[in-house]
Amino acid sequence: MAETATLHIFRFDPEKDKSPYFKTYDVAITAKMNVLEALLDIVDKQDGSLSLRYACRGAICGSCAMYINGSYRLACQTMIANLNPSDITVGPLPHLPNIKDLVVDMTPFFEKYERIVPYLIRNSAPLEKEIPQNLKQRKAIDEMIDCILCGCCYSSCPMVWTHRNFLGPAALTKANRFVQDSRDEGLDQRLSIVAGEDGIWRCHTIFNCADACPKKINTTASIQDLKRKTIARRLHLA
């Protein structure tokens, strides 16, 4: 393995720069180094002005989502050894407002997440103790609860790019996570939100979101689930 990696990094400081540009850095690498570690090495040893967002370093918090070599990835999960170390391009998540360098403004993403009511709805007695689920009930939400809210799917979705109010794959998948949850009692409320003008019918089944997800969640299938559920409900079949 090469001992040096060359990274071309998107730079933009709105207080100084008229337009974005890429700056190239060479980094001494080790066998198990990931892209986040290379970026932090640059910050420590070469250029403290480089801005990026990260927290857990373990593919759990979702904050280091970036556009690496033309793919949506978590920087902390992307091993340099799996890339061509002489030519690595790192940019911020596309189609989200840029704050500085690799940091984007996630406000539109989280505003839409809030719109789908991302918590259990209980219309019956208030929750006083745990509501048990059997294995089958738990299995129904297994994949969707792995979402770490990284925004990769949202950033990759052409319908988000063209219809700025579209709820997007992450919020819709979260809605489906509660629709499928045996403990939730908000089905009609949820379906009226997701089947509105900014919801499921905007999805053209492009599958970019499912391809982009670092947790391998099939977000497109989730949106299809919601379409089926909405139709079944309207036909009084569910």
Instruction: State yes or no: residue 62 binds ligand FES (CB under 6 A).
Output: yes
Stretch that binds ligand SF4, among 9-17, 25-33, 45-53, 210-218 (CB under 6 A): 210-218
Of the pair 160, 193, the CB lying nearest ligand SF4 is at: 160
Instruction: State yes or no: residue 74 binds ligand SF4 (CB under 6 A).
Output: no
Instruction: State yes or no: residue 186 binds ligand FES (CB under 6 A).
Output: no
Of the pair 92, 151, the CB lying nearest ligand SF4 is at: 151
Stretch that binds ligand FES, among 16-24, 61-69, 134-142, 190-198 (CB under 6 A): 61-69
Instruction: State yes or no: residue 212 binds ligand SF4 (CB under 6 A).
Output: yes
- Rounded CA-CA distance 172/167 in Å is 7
Stretch that binds ligand SF4, among 2-10, 24-32, 123-131, 165-173 (CB under 6 A): 165-173
Q: Which residue has the tokens 């690498």?
A: 29
CA 211 to mean position of chain CA atoms: 11
Q: Side chain identity at 169, as an amino acid letter? A: P
- Is residue 96 a contact partner of residue 106, using CB atoms and an 8 Å limit? yes
Q: Given candidates 8, 57, 115, 163, which one binds ligand FES under the rule CB under 6 A?
A: 57
- Is residue 42 a contact partner of residue 82, using CB atoms and an 8 Å limit? no
Q: Given candidates 33, 104, 170, 179, which one binds ligand SF4 under the rule CB under 6 A?
A: 170
- Is residue 157 a contact partner of residue 209, using CB atoms and an 8 Å limit? yes
Q: For residue 192, what is the enclosing H or E element?
A: helix 187-194
Instruction: State yes or no: residue 109 binds ligand FES (CB under 6 A).
Output: no
Residues with Cβ within 8 Å of 51's Cβ and at least 6 positions away in sequence, in order, are: 99, 100, 101, 102, 103
Q: Given candidates 80, 153, 160, 179, which one binds ligand SF4 under the rule CB under 6 A?
A: 153
Instruction: State yes or no: residue 60 binds ligand FES (CB under 6 A).
Output: yes
Q: What are phi and psi of 49, to 5 degrees?
A: -85, -10
Query: 90 has which bridge partners?
Result: 9, 68
Residues contributing to the site for ligand SF4 (CB under 6 A): 62, 147-153, 169-170, 173, 212-213, 215, 217, 219
